[in-house]
Amino acid sequence: MASASKPLIALGFALIFADSSRAQAPAPLRLSFADAVRQATGGGTSHVVPASVSIAGFRSDAAAARVRQARSGLLPNLSLSGSWANRSFNSKAQGISFPGVPTIIGPFNAYDGRVRLTQTLFDFANLGRVSAAKSEASAAGAQRSAVVEASAQNVALAYARASRAQAVVTARAADSALAAELVGLAVAQQQAGVSASIDVTRAKTQLAEALGRLIIAENQLDRARIDLARALGIDPATPIALTDTLNAQMGRADVPADRSAAVAKAVAARPDLAAEVARGAAARTATSAISAERLPRLDLEADYGLSGVRMPDAVGTRQVAIQVTLPILDGFRREGRLGEQQAVLHESEVRQYDLRQQVTADVDGALLDLRSAAAQQVVAADRLQLAAEEVSEARQRFKAGVVGNIEVITAQESLLRARDADIDARFAAVTARIALARSVGSARTLH
């Protein structure tokens, strides 16, 4: 029976020390929690940033380009043109029916070269469109900040999940080592004639279960590293070595300790709320711009050029004109656009009100989770200590031949659950700190 347990024990130690063999592979990317957050926001040493951050940056650039497009309506337009034509025309069709004037005139060449300048002198509607475009650019910039905040939160949570998975692997390795040790103890007790063979069977069963849980935990750790790589925007095959563990420092950020101060900072700093405020301002300005289209518009046009039937005979001609346009009726299209923009404005106002309430709810919820996690950690730490003492005492009783190993196995299961509860409590505290940082708009300061 002792020889039958050797393969199982050998497999156990092979799995327990699998990480040491992995360390001989190519050097992995060593990544701290703070470095991961910095890379997620585009501030890391790597040029690779998450796709969502890059896309948000391009959208912000596009919004800035639309400001230049809107401003172009207020700036001069200068063009050059040149033409040559060979033509003939019916003089009578032009109203020329004098004696001696032939009916068909031509064909003849006509040359014309011209420089043309146009300038809007007065257009309130275009000024409004420029202001609206600027507000949209501000909204796009704030939305980019919101995407950066979300990216920082996603990477922070992915790192925390990977750290949790790593802690679970460590716990399952400890469970397996303990189970392997108890198998050896059960075999020794049986050989000494102080325990029954069922004790050895129970111990081997516990070892098999521990090894199965270790295999699952290692798989979950590998998947968590892949998820972290994807959140960072790097190759999922990149080996990552986490340098931080689930502790009281992970997930710290620049967040006020007082609830009122945290809510005030959230209202002032949350980029998603700032983006909605900017969109509301853009809608309000666009409404004013549409209304201003009813006002007169004043334009200047000037051109100068050379024209003639032969190039040597070309003479200079010019024109200067000022045009006043007063829109009267456009089939009520303007009124329809105005109604649409007003609806957009009202929608934005509702969103702003709802977002302000959501900001407060996010802060309060994160603070509640943080207090709960702190209490859970105290309980879990006490439970873990008691479970370890229970295992030690049960093992001593079994070794002394007072009881069978069923008491040891029960204590072993209790220790396993206590380790899981401790990991879950530490993970809950980290995620609560991350959520609190995100709720006040400080996710990028996580460290």
Distance of CA 6 to the CA centre of its chain: 50
* Close Cβ partners of 337 (under 8 Å, ≥ 6 residues apart): 290
Mean of the pLDDT values across residues 86-94?
Answer: 86
Asked if residue 114 lies in contact with residue 319, where contact means CB atoms within 8 angstroms, the answer is: no
pLDDT of residue 23: 45
What's the CA gap between 155 and 255, in Å, rounded?
A: 19
In a domain, 53, yes or no: yes
- Summarised one tens digit per residue, pLDDT across range 114-140 is 999 999 988 888 888 899 999 999 999
Structural tokens at position 388: 């370890």
- Return the amino acid letter for 240: I
Mean of the pLDDT values across residues 40-64?
Answer: 85
In a domain, 339, yes or no: yes
CB environment 140-158: b (16+ within 10 A), e (fewer): bbbbbbbbbbbbbbbbbbb
* Close Cβ partners of 254 (under 8 Å, ≥ 6 residues apart): 437, 442, 445
pLDDT of residue 20: 46
In a domain, 88, yes or no: no
Q: Which of 4-8, 279-283, 317-321 has the lowest mean pLDDT?
A: 4-8
Confidence of residue 96 (pLDDT cuts 50, 70, 90): confident
pLDDT of residue 45: 63
In a domain, 306, yes or no: no
Confidence of residue 1 (pLDDT cuts 50, 70, 90): very low
In a domain, 281, yes or no: yes
pTM attached to this predicted model = 0.82
What's the CA gap between 236 and 399, in Å, rounded?
A: 48
CB environment 50-61: b (16+ within 10 A), e (fewer): bebbeebbeebe
In a domain, 58, yes or no: yes
Whether omega before 271 lies within 30 degrees of 0, making that bond cis, reads: no
Q: What is the CA radius of gyration of the chain?
A: 39
Which structural domain range is residue 175 located in?
A: 2-76+123-295+330-445
Number of domains the chain contains = 1
What's the CA gap between 403 and 393, in Å, rounded?
A: 11
In a domain, 272, yes or no: yes
Domain harbouring 159, CATH code: 1.20.1600.10
SS (H, E, C) 116-175: EEEEEEECHHHHHHHHHHHHHHHHHHHHHHHHHHHHHHHHHHHHHHHHHHHHHHHHHHHH
Q: Which helix (H) or strand (E) holds 318?
A: strand 315-325
In a domain, 116, yes or no: no
What's the CA gap between 444 and 427, in Å, rounded?
A: 19
- Summarised one tens digit per residue, pLDDT across range 327-346 is 888 888 889 989 999 999 99
Asked if residue 292 lies in contact with residue 285, where contact means CB atoms within 8 angstroms, the answer is: no
pLDDT of residue 398: 83
